[in-house]
Structure 1
Amino acid sequence: MSVVPAIESVPASSRWPWLAEFLAGEWRAWIFVGKSLLAIYLAAWLAMWLQLEQPSTTMITVSIVMHPHSGMVLAKSFYRAIGTLAGSLFGLALMSLFPQQRELFLLSLSLWVGLCAGGATLYRNFMSYGFVLAGYTAAIVTLPAINNPLDVFDSAVMRVSEVLLGILVAAVVSDLVWPERLRLLLRQNAQAQFNVFIDFVRESTAGNMPREQMEHANLALARAAVRLEDMRASVIFEDPEVHARSTRMRLLNQRYMAAATSFQSLHHLINRLQRGGSPSVADALIALYRPLGDALSPALAQQHQSVVLAARLDECVVQLPAQVAALRAPLSEPLAQLEFDTGAALLQRFVMELRDFATLEGSLREAQVRGSVEKVHFKRSNDIPGALVSVLRTFLTMGALSAFWLASGWPFGAGAMLLATVFSGLLAASPNPLSATTHTLLGYVAGMLGAFLVVYVLLPGSNDFAWLIGASAGFMLIGPYLSTRDTLPGVGPGYTLGFVNILALKNPMVYDPAHFLNDGVAQVAGLALAGTAFILLPSVIGSSWQRTRQFRRLREQAVLAATAPLEGLAWRFESLVRDLFQQVVTYTRPGSDESRSMLAWALAVLESGRTMIELRQQLAADSKIAPAVRDTATAAMHAIARLYQAPDAARWRKADAAVHAAIATAAEQPLRLPLYQLRSALRDDESPFATYIPPPSPESVHAA
């Protein structure tokens, strides 16, 4: 039977790719909206069936916890549950200490909420939710019972029950209804990170990479490392298999960062040799580098297969010593030999790290995890002074509201304090809290108006839960849908919170327009006061003051490399530098002088810090090193640490002299190689130390 080829029509998605992308985005958005509505109404029905006092609290919990990815929901739920329990216990303790002393009670509550807001700023990801909830729950447990302290225990039990029910419903719906698994996204990101790095290394084997290209590459590498750790921290909640692979994922990220630092150091050295009048040495290192490119260039279909690449890299490691000896032989001058030996050691280290990286990546693709691996952690750099500013701001906000409440006897002061508590914590970690407050306030007011129409126009006369859904669903879905739009950050969550708060489902339902208006005014006032506090005491996140301190902390990581205990130092150094680098660059204008200075310092810190760690490991491993050699090498590292701590020309000269003395003392020992790399980095005319480097003289050109 003959087959006649048909003329296939061109799909619309290929003719209008923007339309296909739009439809795919809308499909994902409406799936999220549908899941959110299902979870919110299911939670409300269960709360009413269980005779809980305020189903609206359960609905608010669901709206805050819901996320398109199930792993994110579980992570938020975990920290939210911990925060709820901690806040409830603190609220009970506080009420038992000050049952009839309102002033001391509100003062202590304000301090607790301030500390929780500081914790929300200090910790990132969904851990911040735990702190926000710890402050918010203490307020919702105690403030309604402030006139009758004997009811505080019942209030705590009820609020915890409502919140935990919302957490449970959100987790079940997210995990069972069209689940979008975060682990798949993590796997894709890890694979993309591996592929991009391998391609980048393969294409760079010519050995000549401009400084600007290396700076941008380092920025991309830092972002990829931080993003992978953020995602891994959420995925471990999704299923046991991912949790079992979590240790390997952490180690994979650390091996990625270690290989990236060695790669950067090697290219910097080659580029310095090309600029500094040693082209023969640079050419020899480039020739030594090319076999790595061959190892990373199997058949096209295998170029990203980690098992294949790991085997080829292992062969490259075995062959490198013979190639090093062959390329070193024509170099007769001692300085040229030292330069070549330093580069060859770096290349050998890089190839071994790349092999280990590919091997571990391959083990993660296996269906079953076998054996155990080294336990490492991604160390974060938290900004304590910035958190203290958040503590002070929130404490003053809550203190001012408390004083006004006590002085005026405002019946709805508790509502204002609750909203101020929530948004003081949520907005504390925002890079632009004023903008976030404005968007949230607009959404909140719109949600209140929608709730007013539902409660006083559509709901009266209804007699079952189906009528409630029919009356409110059209208004309710606006919030989740707006949450999927990046162009209106904060408006969607604000709308949902305003709508559910003012809808105020209760057992039984109450219709009181006067209460509605007073409660709405109080809630808007609390939110507005929380935003006003950011005007009076601005956030430090992204400020020049914070960037200056983080910039200083970045340089001080070189001090950490030179002086901190060696155990676990390598992974702590790599992760701290990249986390700090990512924090500062996020709030720095791309292409600005500040951004370029930051990139240059990050590269310098990574190169010098990693080299000092390697040098210290050699000193610790070889007990036969002469005391004089050990002392001069240690003195050189301390001089470099002091230079990074407070850079100036005098300290640069002392560091340069100390390293030169250590090289001379080390004679022909292996310690000369990392010491020479340190001196080469100090004399890099494209580094931040370029202004301190004196003009070359005939004597300095031939100095070892």
Structure 2
Amino acid sequence: MAAVDSTQRTPAFRQVLVEALREEASVWLLVVKTLIAFFLTGWIAMRLALPSPSSAMLTTIIVANRQSGMVLAKSFYRGIGTVVGTLVAIVIVSAFAQQRVLFLLSLSVWIGLCTAGATLYRNFKSYAFVLAGYGTALVAVPVINAPLNVFDSAWARMSEVLLGLLMSGVVSEAVFPARMRDVMRRTGREQFTDFIAFVRGAVGGVVPREAMENAHLRFVRAAVTLEDLRSSVVFEDVETRARSNHLRLFNQRFMATSTSFQSLHHLINRLKRAHRERAAAALIRLYAPLRKGLDGPLGAGLAAQALLPPLVDARKAIDADVVFLRASLADAQDLRDFDTGAALIRRFADELHDYVESAAALQSSRPFPTISAERVRFDRGNDFLGAGIAMARATLTMLALGAFWIQSAWPFGSSAMLLATVFAGLFATAPNPTRTTWIVMLGYLCGMTMAFICLFFILTQVDGFGLMAVCVFPFIAVGLVMMFTPKTASFGLGWAFGLTYLLGLNNIQVFDPAHAINDAIAQIIGLGAAAAAFVVIPPAVGSPWLRRRLMARLRGQVALAANAPLPGLRHRFESVNNDLVSQVVAQTEPGSADSRALIAWALAVHETGRAVIEMRHDMAGRDVPDALRPYLATALDRLARFYTSPDVATYVAARDAVATAISGVFEHDGQAYLLEHLSLIRMALLDSESAVAAYMPDAPLAKEIAHAP
């Protein structure tokens, strides 16, 4: 028996060991690549006699990443931030060369603005804002007593940073490059296969609400992840840059198709709950041809292209079946339900075909002639009040340290300000910036301790760049290993920063223990000030207050659908919805009450908002009787008010306004298309399992799917 147990355990142990060794090897490969860039940059900087080679070397640590695309993307935005920060530093120094108070005030406000900008983005664009802020400080603060040297300081700063970025990019591309392109393609295939498989499995009709909610979260994450990858891969891959708009279009079509899919199944589920079996069964039969259209191997590329002809046939079959199935229904209410669902099925079939077509086009060697050339964007849902809080925190922190520096005439006050500037901006968007800053500060202290030992007990005994590199290698390698290990990343970041900064490697090395100790104390005080600022003015990220604001913004998307200009509205609505949901999901515990409320509201907003947008598009392309327009405008206005400020009164007003508009449509011939949209909106308002159920008054009308006479 023992032998059997051992045999059973061996494969698992071997698998765990292989996975551990593979992960350890990937970490050390990244460490080696970073160290090559680190020392190569230092050697070139010293050969060029740059003022601070250590700044160039530190840049290689900051932009280090496993994937080449990430390195290039981060380098690109760091370069932009450095250039902007340098130019602003020249302006500030030129304007307030003799006014220290105004100098510090303008610098603090600028850093606050950059910190606010960093909170509005969740990719490397935010890094450009952070760099523009503390890059200004790195150029301007050291020359506060010698303003005429600002041009030399600016040139040196730009040269050092750009050299570090260049070397990081070259090494990342030349030494065992890891391509983000492969990750993006795999993510796109997984998005496609997951969605098509889910649609194929749902052809039977009713999809449990829990399954739909879980699928919605997967689809949201897939859309946001693909956009984040695309924004990085364009830096490393020519083909991705050429097809960037097609990738956006593929993602936008995915979001639109998934919304129509969810709306369709919510409609069928509501009809089932309301015992409208005939209408529900007819819609399920009408939906059935899509099952045949989706048969075949799953995957993007040739498999996607092979799905196109069957989907065309499926759309034709649906059009043919509509007449037959509608004729099988005699009840007027069943007919209205069927017409609403049939219009939704047709919309879904068209969008599904377009989505599959875009998937096939991405893998084709030649662009599809039918693919739209429309420029699409992935808009983000940003909270400007939260950005204002981040701005106030960074500005006040800089002002407090600046005031202390002026009053105390502390020789090392500039070091404290620089460190506070860096980390106040760098961690402004972190979920728990106070804890992160304290961990980084502990790592920074350990790194500076190691730097002190290396500098004064080892480097004093050697000469030449080669021996210097050999001596520094074990100290910096330890920090990099921790930095590239997820559990110790923050500590390792502080270690690598503190070690590199205090070493201050240069052509002519200065060994001054007193200066090093005082500089280290100043840096720790700067880090402590940044951590204290996050305590005094807590960040909005992760707070219940911000979650409530994001939820309100999500509900407000219905108002956007009702009032915003139509050009590009579909893309804007879908992308902002997905971005807002992904933000709140990241800040809520899975399965919690907040998470369930988020998903419920997200489904309601997606369904109602899309119905409103489609109705407005149809209204814009057709002649709507003047007598009917006031009813439609009132319905849209009441819907926007309810979703913006939900309560019983606004719910009743929206429900009644939609019912009134439906009654008005019955009085005008040739407006059946409006009835389809309005009926879908009304059913969503009367769904007892949706988020809006909490605002339904205790009346029979709220207990079932009701229809206007």
- Counterpart mapping for 1:213-612 below 5 A: 213-298=211-296, 305-369=303-367, 373-612=373-612
1:479 is displaced (CA, Å) by 2.1
Q: Measure the CA separation in 2 of the matches of 1:612 and 1:84.
A: 45
Give TM-score scaled by structure 2 length.
0.95
Q: Please identify, of 259-268 and 289-298, the stretch whose mean Cα deviation from structure 2 is larger.
A: 289-298
Q: Measure the CA separation in 1 of the matches of 2:487 and 2:157.
A: 34
Q: Measure the CA separation in 2 of the matches of 1:553 and 1:275.
A: 31
Q: Measure the CA separation in 1 of the matches of 2:300 and 2:412.
A: 67
* Structure 1 residues 529 and 325: CA distance shift in structure 2, 3 A: same
1:528 is displaced (CA, Å) by 0.9
Q: Measure the CA separation in 1 of the matches of 2:603 and 2:231.
A: 27
Match of 1:4 in 2: none
CA contact (8 A) 1:252 1:360 kept: yes
CA contact (8 A) 1:683 1:693 kept: no
CA contact (8 A) 2:687 2:705 kept: no
* 1:331-352 deviation per Cα after TM superposition (whole angstroms, max 9, x unaligned): 1011101101111111111111
Code of the residue aligned with 2:641 in structure 1: it is: R
CA contact (8 A) 1:439 1:489 kept: no
Match of 1:683 in 2: 686
1:694 is displaced (CA, Å) by 4.3
* Structure 1 residues 200 and 121: CA distance shift in structure 2, 3 A: same
Q: Which consecutive unaligned segments of at least 5 residues does structure 1 have? A: 1-8
CA contact (8 A) 1:439 1:488 kept: no
**Secondary structure, in 3 states, of the residue corresponding to 1:377?**
coil
1:250 is displaced (CA, Å) by 0.3
* 1:600-651 deviation per Cα after TM superposition (whole angstroms, max 9, x unaligned): 111000000000000001100012x211233322221211111111112222
Q: Which consecutive unaligned segments of at least 5 residues does structure 2 have? A: 1-6
**Secondary structure, in 3 states, of the residue corresponding to 2:329?**
coil
* Structure 1 residues 573 and 300: CA distance shift in structure 2, 3 A: closer
Of residues 83, 86, 94, the one that matches 1:85 is 83
Give TM-score scaled by structure 1 length.
0.96
* Structure 1 residues 241 and 330: CA distance shift in structure 2, 3 A: same
CA contact (8 A) 1:416 1:525 kept: yes
Code of the residue aligned with 1:552 in structure 2: it is: A
Q: Measure the CA separation in 1 of the matches of 2:71 and 2:651.
A: 51
Match of 1:42 in 2: 40
Q: Measure the CA separation in 2 of the matches of 1:503 and 1:13.
A: 47
Of residues 146, 149, 152, the one that matches 1:148 is 146
* Structure 1 residues 694 and 281: CA distance shift in structure 2, 3 A: farther
Of residues 686, 696, 700, the one that matches 2:700 is 696
**Secondary structure, in 3 states, of the residue corresponding to 1:129?**
helix
Of residues 117, 120, 125, the one that matches 2:115 is 117
- Counterpart mapping for 1:611-630 below 5 A: 611-623=611-623, 625-630=624-629
Code of the residue aligned with 1:683 in structure 2: it is: L
Q: Measure the CA separation in 2 of the matches of 1:489 and 1:611.
A: 46
Q: Measure the CA separation in 2 of the matches of 1:493 and 1:232.
A: 27
* Structure 1 residues 59 and 11: CA distance shift in structure 2, 3 A: farther
Q: Measure the CA separation in 2 of the matches of 1:300 and 1:233.
A: 26
CA contact (8 A) 2:93 2:140 kept: yes
1:215 is displaced (CA, Å) by 1.4
Code of the residue aligned with 1:597 in structure 2: it is: A
Aligned residues: 695
* 1:209-228 deviation per Cα after TM superposition (whole angstroms, max 9, x unaligned): 12122112111111111111
Match of 2:650 in 1: 651
CA contact (8 A) 2:111 2:133 kept: yes
* Structure 1 residues 358 and 11: CA distance shift in structure 2, 3 A: farther
TM-align CA RMSD: 2.0
* Structure 1 residues 206 and 296: CA distance shift in structure 2, 3 A: same
Runs in 1 of length 4+ with deviation above 3 angstroms?
A: 9-15, 299-304, 368-372, 697-704
Match of 1:639 in 2: 638
* 1:97-138 deviation per Cα after TM superposition (whole angstroms, max 9, x unaligned): 111221211121111111111111122211111111111121
Q: Measure the CA separation in 2 of the matches of 1:398 and 1:325.
A: 71
Q: Measure the CA separation in 1 of the matches of 2:477 and 2:646.
A: 56
1:484 is displaced (CA, Å) by 2.1
CA contact (8 A) 2:302 2:363 kept: no
Code of the residue aligned with 1:85 in structure 2: it is: V
Match of 2:196 in 1: 198
Q: Measure the CA separation in 2 of the matches of 1:117 and 1:427.
A: 9
Q: Measure the CA separation in 2 of the matches of 1:204 and 1:129.
A: 42
Code of the residue aligned with 1:110 in structure 2: it is: S
* 1:220-239 deviation per Cα after TM superposition (whole angstroms, max 9, x unaligned): 11111111111111111112
Q: Please identify, of 354-363 and 456-465, the stretch whose mean Cα deviation from structure 2 is larger.
A: 456-465
Q: Measure the CA separation in 1 of the matches of 2:141 and 2:38.
A: 25
CA contact (8 A) 1:65 1:76 kept: yes
CA contact (8 A) 1:619 1:630 kept: no
